Structure 1
């Protein structure tokens, strides 16, 4: 199984040094291009382990740890020059798997990474299946949508409709296609049922300021758009 390590580190020299060392052990290493959108890169890369500094541009490592933990159980290791005990306590309370102080010995770090990967994926556990859409995170396993620390729960039908639309973002999905995908037997569903579900879905999306992100194409169907 190929393993991806996601390193959130704004010190280019440290990032490149870690990347070079870890790739010698056949680990794929990546990181965010934009430190304002760490979650977008995390969702796109679907890493098996995250290494994160505390002091970062825009938002600190604690913020991104909370965001990741809201949708994923992926292992997280903090790498930081800060040595205050409270930082370590906060990191562990937020769900970090380890806290390693800089400077560190690369071989020791590698041993910890390998141990965590073996422990986590020995039984084939994968990272959470999530989608990103207009700055929101859609958790496919929990059936919730989250944006800026606000979380909205959807019913099974509402969530399924949203997932179908988002997976075809900026493409029209017909009402008939939605009905066929929602229910095995269309004879027990009238057209109004879908309309009711769509209305409720839009009301909940409005709580996240995404009410205008699902539009109706008259006579054609619905479309999730990129705002």
Structure 2
């Protein structure tokens, strides 16, 4: 079943949308923290987004552009604003469609189904990102995104960070990391891993990400 992420400030409307969509066998999630929309989006990994323009702090245009930095997932704007400029802005920011409030459930469902058919027939819409405490790892381009900064990573830096984030709640053994980096750790000097870890730590600190990789003596590493 398709998952839909609802970014709507009107709680009653948001709940109504969720209720109606679930009747049509969609799985829904309503945004919980309007200051943390991207992290919620990444963790939920939806197939489609319903996005209002008028939101707390940043508007829907802003959040659509942030979503477009990491995903091609279809976005439908839903708004009481209906000027030509609003519609043009919505499309220019990466929106796929625009529906004016008050919403017709029948029209909304028809547009959602049509957009899902077109999108998932021809495109891969996976987000290709993983996230940990505001650190977003783009698995397609091997870059790290943190506070709107794009940080280039070497092949080994990317692999180290990837395996640590994928196992963020447990210690990753040094041998396991070395297998990821070099396939057979028996032919690699143990100090080489330490050098790579230290380089990654230094790069992260340059962008304000401090003390995120903790050493567990005699075992390996864990994210703090």
TM-score (norm 1): 0.91
Measured in 2, the distance between the counterparts of 1:19 and 1:106 equals 11
**Which stretches of structure 1, 4 residues or more, deviate above 4 A after TM superposition?**
none
Residue 158 of structure 1: how far off its partner (Å): 0.8
Measured in 1, the distance between the counterparts of 2:85 and 2:204 equals 37
User: In structure 2, what is the equivalent of residue 158 of structure 1?
Assistant: 157
User: In structure 1, what is the equivalent of residue 138 of structure 2?
Assistant: 139
User: In structure 2, what is the equivalent of residue 114 of structure 1?
Assistant: 113
Do 1:128 and 1:141's aligned partners in 2 also have CA atoms closer than 8 Å?
no
Whether 2:39 is the aligned partner of 1:58: answer no
Residue 124 of structure 1: how far off its partner (Å): 7.1
Residue 136 of structure 1: how far off its partner (Å): 2.1
Do 1:65 and 1:94's aligned partners in 2 also have CA atoms closer than 8 Å?
yes
Do 2:4 and 2:27's aligned partners in 1 also have CA atoms closer than 8 Å?
yes
Do 2:71 and 2:127's aligned partners in 1 also have CA atoms closer than 8 Å?
yes
TM-score (norm 2): 0.92
Residue 3 of structure 1: how far off its partner (Å): 0.2
Measured in 2, the distance between the counterparts of 1:115 and 1:68 equals 21
Measured in 2, the distance between the counterparts of 1:218 and 1:88 equals 57
Measured in 2, the distance between the counterparts of 1:124 and 1:59 equals 29
Measured in 1, the distance between the counterparts of 2:184 and 2:15 equals 55
Task: Supply the RMSD in Å over aligned alpha carbons.
Answer: 1.8
Unaligned ranges ≥5, structure 1: none
3-state SS of the aligned residue for 1:18? Answer: helix
User: In structure 2, what is the equivalent of residue 200 of structure 1?
Assistant: 199
Whether 2:101 is the aligned partner of 1:102: answer yes
Change (3 A) 1:117 1:151: same
3-state SS of the aligned residue for 2:98? Answer: strand
Do 1:31 and 1:41's aligned partners in 2 also have CA atoms closer than 8 Å?
no
Measured in 2, the distance between the counterparts of 1:129 and 1:78 equals 23
Measured in 1, the distance between the counterparts of 2:82 and 2:48 equals 23
Do 2:42 and 2:127's aligned partners in 1 also have CA atoms closer than 8 Å?
no
Do 1:5 and 1:47's aligned partners in 2 also have CA atoms closer than 8 Å?
yes
